A and B are shown apart, each in its own frame.
Chain A
């Protein structure tokens, strides 16, 4: 661990990745922990952080949790304002990993409960989380397992459980393993659902009448397997390097927190952590944040913020007031309707978020934040960001705001373009920025909009 040089920039990077970006004072506080181990522990061992005051303020916001939009706002609020940023970042990871779509699930309460399950088990044993999700009513509807019957099982969940959730498509399982696993999962179904009420109220039921009690051979092991047995077989499935599920989950978490396509030696190290800690997600995450590679230059500024992260990061880093009322629709235009992915894989990550249309959609959201001069909705105070600082020249204003948004490392031409913008008259001729109320209202808001729509801010 001595290879990690604990700096203020490292603290800012950790807050961007383990959370949704930090304010200057949050970065200072994390840096002041003094060592990377202490700083990482303060984020990873988050159950000791008291969030009761935040929970009370969240409840007071009265988001309508019977509607998808209200649940979206509730989750975005948590990402932006919870004192446990990694708890929300991990919940968001599971949301991306296997969220179920409201368009098919229909029951908002089921989707809301799935989110709470993901949060509750986010950092525990992977076994517990896989079982909970396999028995989660929203998932049972989303991938049809609740309708699977011994006579002709439905393969939908069985396939994705191995392909997308635990092993990966190239891990070596066969179509026969899919059909055999589907047989083992028969009987995991729903009770108490009210179809007229969009399945709300549904709870898990292990129904022996629907279960196939014959012998099944899954990944080479034969027996009258139940769903629990089958999940155990999947997670235990190993080769000479250790469990395949450990390497799969390790690689995906590394992709989420560090960068895509990690080299084999990193994946193998993470798989070993998973195997040696009883498949602890928390220890896997801690190992990532304590890896020297996590702080190396090629890890920095490579994560393309997803639409939700983009919306949240600007609120956090500008210390904005937010109800996310505009964000919920904007996210859809940016290609991400929270809680409603188009298929079981969820959204692609990385540059697949970015195209000419979503660049404009992101600009639209940023513009609505930057130019909201009213007293409701998501808004920030430009004067607050400049308070106590020397904002007498365009260069100084640019540096204050670029530092706040963690994009002070842009190419010199980009910084020059920002400075020119601050000094530009309406006809494009060169003027001179002066720190007046009118100029702050016009140009500082304009600059914030431009910075939020710069390529650099799409990366975290």
Chain B
């Protein structure tokens, strides 16, 4: 299903009746389709999954040989005999057969104990810190937004980076690049009056021209104005991506499955997407975790498996790396409402052919805890990001993160 560059030109010429006033790439970018890309590995795609609410790492990757586990999780713990063993200490939640099969195929790096120091245990501060990679919160833009600014600049394919979301995640907030967001192909276009189809071009032209609006004091109008041009051009590209798609994966029902399939469609169409971001919520399991958490990790695991099956079926998985994050893990000791309160570190998954498979870090200690009863940090999240930036995106990770962080070594540097 990939679209050749020539096909792309021909088809967009037919589709984009508004190309005359679409800014940037959709006008001149056809000839710059590849040249405009300034990143080290423009053929690669990074897929980022944000698990919103703070995923409980201890019910995701279980330290199944630790005698303390059945005690601290007496009411909501995973039966240790049921885990999908990864090594002699750690095993996956039994719902996660999808990730397990990817693990067995040598395509998974598991990072244990990822977090940041001195957590306030706030969801929202934690999210901002992870989005910006800055615990002092001095940075406005996201860590991948800063990568976009330094590596992509303002001469970009409108789909070089996109969020499959009805919000724009702060991770992708940048100065020079407006990142499109959408949840489906069908809904992603500017509606016009169906009774007067002949007036459609005039309406779209005028809509784009409205982007000329300025306001003397605040820049809010300009921020909104910038969206219409990017919207129209990214819509033109996206409309072509989805025609006649054949899915090679069994995606789970719901928003994560449909979103991951849309990500696969975009990658498989070969339109130059380098960052694709998706969110999935429901992990703030203060109560009722015994019932609520298993379906969440199953959906995530099944979704990742389907994504890679789909990419494999289209011969595209070689150039794709998947990573997950969540604002924190959860408290070691469960509470009286069959749930867990806010914690600190948690395990995260990196999936792709470029990983050096294995476990980075050790099984977390359930007895050596911080003063709030939370897990200690093994891997700073900036080392996690830095390794991705250097070894997958080929970027200057210290420049983007403000300082160098130890490379965790979970990616094959010589991967091509």
Q: Which residues of A contact B (CB under 8 A)?
A: 143-144, 147-149, 151-156, 159, 163-164, 169, 175, 178, 259, 297-298, 301-302, 304, 332-335, 342-345, 348, 350-352, 354-361, 363-364, 366-368, 370-371, 373, 410-411, 413-414, 417-418, 420-421, 424, 426, 428, 441-443, 445-446, 449-450, 453-456, 458-459
Contacts and interface: CB of A to CB of B under 8 A. Distances in A.
Interface of B: 52-53, 120-125, 163, 165-168, 178-183, 187-196, 198-199, 201-203, 205-207, 209-218, 220-221, 223-225, 227-228, 230-231, 234-235, 281, 284, 286-287, 333-339, 341-342, 372
Contact of B341 (A156, A364, A371, A443): A156
B238 to A, nearest CB: 10
A354 B227 contact: yes
Contact of A149 (B163, B223, B337): B337
B335 A152 contact: yes
A355 B191 contact: no
A455 B187 contact: no
A218 B341 CA distance: 19
Given A343-B53, A356-B234, A361-B166, A144 B188 contact: no
Given A154-B286, A155-B286, A360 B217 contact: no
B220 A446 contact: no
22 contacts: A147-B336, A148-B335, A153-B336, A154-B286, A169-B124, A169-B125, A301-B220, A333-B183, A342-B52, A354-B227, A357-B231, A367-B191, A367-B192, A410-B213, A413-B209, A414-B210, A420-B209, A421-B202, A426-B202, A446-B193, A446-B199, A449-B203
A455 B341 contact: no
Nearest to A303: B220
B213 A414 contact: yes
A456 B221 contact: yes
A342 B181 CA distance: 18
B180 A355 contact: yes
- Cβ-closest 8 pairs across A and B: A147-B337, A426-B198, A356-B231, A417-B209, A413-B212, A367-B191, A149-B336, A152-B336
B210 A450 contact: yes
- Tell me which of A301, A363, A443 has the highest count of chain B C-beta atoms within 10 A of its own C-beta: A363
Nearest to A332: B166
Given A371-B193, A414-B212, A428 B201 contact: yes
Contact of A455 (B53, B213, B217): B213
A450 to B, nearest CB: 5
A446 B206 CA distance: 10
A456 B213 contact: yes
A442 B341 CA distance: 57
Contacts of B234: 356
Given A147-B336, A356-B182, A450-B203, A414 B227 contact: no
B166 A421 contact: no
Contacts of B228: 359, 455
Contacts of A163: 122, 124
Contacts of B125: 169
Contacts of B188: 356-357, 360
B202 A363 contact: no
A345 B193 contact: no
Nearest to B53: A343
Contacts of B52: 342-343
B414 to A, nearest CB: 38
A364 B183 CA distance: 15
A358 B187 CA distance: 10
Contacts of A352: 167-168
A356 B281 CA distance: 22
Nearest to A147: B337
Contacts of A154: 286-287, 335-337, 339, 341
A367 B191 CA distance: 6
A345 B190 contact: no
A16 B125 CA distance: 32
B166 A373 contact: no
A333 B187 contact: yes
B196 A175 contact: no
B345 to A, nearest CB: 16
A356 B180 contact: yes
Nearest to B223: A351
Contacts of A443: 199
A455 B220 CA distance: 9
